[in-house]
Structure 1
Amino acid sequence: MARIVVVGSINMDLVTSVRRRPEPGETVSGDGFALVPGGKGSNQAIAARRAGAEVKFVGAVGDDVFADELRRVLHDAGVGVSRLRRVDGPSGVAAIVVDGNGENSIIVVGGANSRMTELDAADLEAIAVADVLLCQLEIPVQTVLAAARHAHANGTAVVLNPSPVHELPADLWAEVDIAVVNEGEAAQLGSALDAVPHVITTLGADGAIYRGPDGITLPQPGVRVKVVDTTAAGDTFTGALAAHWHEGPEIALAWASTAGALATTKLGASVSIPTHSEIERLLSR
């Protein structure tokens, strides 16, 4: 069982279902609404736990009505929450619109995630004894860099999902062992990814492709499912990949691609993330 520490975001997702997303200035009628705990960090932590890893979460919630529910969802999923702190102000939120084809548009307001500006001694100790550090970019970049440096110095593999994508300092790329990006992110980051030994590019329904340090590529076919909501697919892929990375890229890709596909078959982020047995059952077909 891999030991994973996730340093990342946790949000309450406000999910609205519509037949089609509105054009600028247009009002449309919605088909449904739900409050679903999410955030890239939380989603990936739950996905890694359900894929079979031991997971601890380092992050922050606010002092609002969402805070206790966000903590509970992680705890109930079996994710360690001793490093989840409470800060003044609102928790992170994401406004998500999902259309009839399962495609989504998302607006994220950082809230407490934006105040994750320091790692304390206990956070650093958790990172040092883990097998994998898993990070995204919904918390301040300096915090991600500090976590990655400490992980690298202690032999902990660093997995970065550079999303939301933006230009990153070369110092951070130098600490990253594995990057997980989608096609759009790969195009935007371009040659910056050349510094990363292992790069996995997700291709939606077409699966993913892996590029190793020797330049050799490994394609992973997609898994065909009936798509309902793609919101947590990438996060589920990344969490499952991290959970099985110690078994080698080929096995990790198979678990990740299967888990990511299954995550599109339900509405809502945390509720759509499949269990170990669900992933294993589809893999064995």
Structure 2
Amino acid sequence: MSSNETRGRVAVVGSLNMDLVVRAPRLPHPGETLAGRTFAQVAGGKGGNQAVAAARLGAQVSMLGCVGADANGAQLRAGLEVEGIDCTALETGAQASGVALIVVDDASQNAIVIVAGSNGELTPETIARHEAVLAAADVVICQLETPPDAVHAALAAARRLSRTVILNPAPATGPLPADWLPLIDYLIPNELEAATLTGLPVATPADAARAAAALRDAGARNVLVTLGPRGVHAALDGADATLYSAPSVKAVDTTAAGDTFIGGFAAQLARGASVDAAIRFAQRAAALSVTRAGAQPSIPTRAELDESA
């Protein structure tokens, strides 16, 4: 970034996991033992991924979450600090750090099982202790890999502080509580999450448009439904619905593509970019991430995007 370019502030409230990643020809069937090809252990968690993405893509980032007092926790914290992320609001809990078991197939699709561990120790009291971190941010990002009462507390605090609030409703298990929607500026589900939130099928861009409209009718201000290689459906307050086409790339691993999009989008909003520019920038970042293996290792930097422009 040039020295005269605005560098906004992003606070991420969410999960940190150690990802245990196996590559296999395909995803296993129930009860099946399948021979894998490779194994890797890398830092992940939707909160951690989104924090790293926002930092690499130009924002000053603070992480609010909880890791364990174990080797994974130390490694997760150190990895964030290497990225220049402020970890003063990253607490150490009594449980082991969260882990995610990930299988990636030859079509670059994945299946993930998460054990929350210390992520489950994030509470409304934790949020209250670190409210100054939210107050200092331009944009606050939350997801659903931490307890719902803590997520709601973060959303409510960020709204009261007049911050721009992003919720990535992942993993979604059903409709969001009605009182959450007025707290959120940008609700960003993928197609599976949009279907879960609305009860509508989301298999095509037209389906995504219907789901986004339903979420707007329920009270969401702005809805971005990410559709992978089919783009992003944007239903924005005061604007016509728009389908943003995705850059065409050869995918290797889609594990952190959505998190890269969220981080890039937040980083651009935090520096004052338009929503249109932020979406297009985030799409380019996500497209580059899927050409690489791993979660956080796949996330590009702002300089790499500038070089590829």
**Do they fold alike, i.e. is TM over 0.5?**
yes
Distance 2:223 2:150 in 1: 22
> Which residue number in structure 1 is paired with residue 291 of structure 2?
265
Aligned to 2:26: 20
Aligned equivalents of 2:252, 2:305: Cα separation in 1: 17
Once the two structures are TM-superposed, the CA of residue 188 in structure 1 deviates from its matched residue by 2.1
Structure 2 residue aligned with 1:146 = 153
Q: Which residue of 2 aligns with 1:172?
A: 180
Q: Map of 1:58-137 to 2, 5 A cutoff? A: 58-117=64-123, 118-137=125-144
1:167-186 Cα offsets, whole Å, 9 max, x none, are 32112112001111111211
- The total of aligned residue pairs comes to 283
Q: Is the 8 A contact 2:127 2:150 kept in 1?
A: no
Q: Are positions 1:43 and 2:67 aligned together?
A: no
Q: 1:227 aligns with which of 247, 251, 256?
A: 251
Conserved 8 A contact 2:127-2:154: no
User: What is the distance in 1 between the residues matched to 2:165 and 2:117?
Assistant: 25
Distance 1:65 1:256 in 2: 32
Distance in 2 (alpha carbons) for counterparts of 1:13 and 1:202: 23
* 1:159 aligned to which of 163, 166, 177: 166
1:119 partner SS: helix
Decide which of 242, 245, 250 is 2:276's aligned counterpart: 250
**What do residues 103-135 of structure 1 show as CA deviations (whole Å, max 9, x unaligned)?**
100001100001101325551111122111100
Deviations 1:19-76 (A, max 9, x none): 1111111111110000010000000000011110110000000122211100011111
Question: Aligned partners of 1:249, 1:220: CA distance in 2, in Å?
Answer: 12
Identity value in percent? 43
- Provide the secondary structure at the position in 2 that maps to 1:5: strand
The residue type equivalent to 2:187 in the other structure is A
More strand by share: 1
1:183 alignment counterpart = 191
Partner SS, residue 180 of structure 2: helix
1:280 and 2:306 matched: yes
Root-mean-square deviation (Å) = 1.2
Q: Post-superposition shift, 1:219?
A: 2.3
CA distance in 1 between counterparts of 2:215 and 2:233 reads 17
* Structure 1: unaligned runs, 5 residues or longer: none
- Cα distance in 2 for partners of 1:38, 1:177 equals 25
Alignment of 1:10 with 2:55, yes or no, is no
Could you tell me which amino acid in structure 2 is paired with residue 189 of structure 1?
Answer: L
SS of the residue 2:89 aligns to: strand
Cα distance in 2, alignment partners of residues 55 and 204 from structure 1: 25
Mapped partners of 2:221, 2:127: distance in 1? 29
Conservation of the 8 A alpha-carbon contact between 2:167 and 2:186? yes
Q: 1:82 to 1:150 in 2, by over 3 A?
A: same
Deviant stretches of 4+, over 4 Å: none
TM-score, normalised by the number of residues in structure 1? 0.96
Partner of residue 202, structure 1: 226
Alignment correspondent of 1:31: 37
Note closer, same or farther for the CA distance 1:36–1:226 as it changes in structure 2 (3 Å cut): same
Deviations 1:213-240 (A, max 9, x none): 1251222211111211100000000110
Deviates more, 1:88-97 or 1:205-214: 205-214
Q: Distance in 2 between matches of 1:184 and 1:224?
A: 21
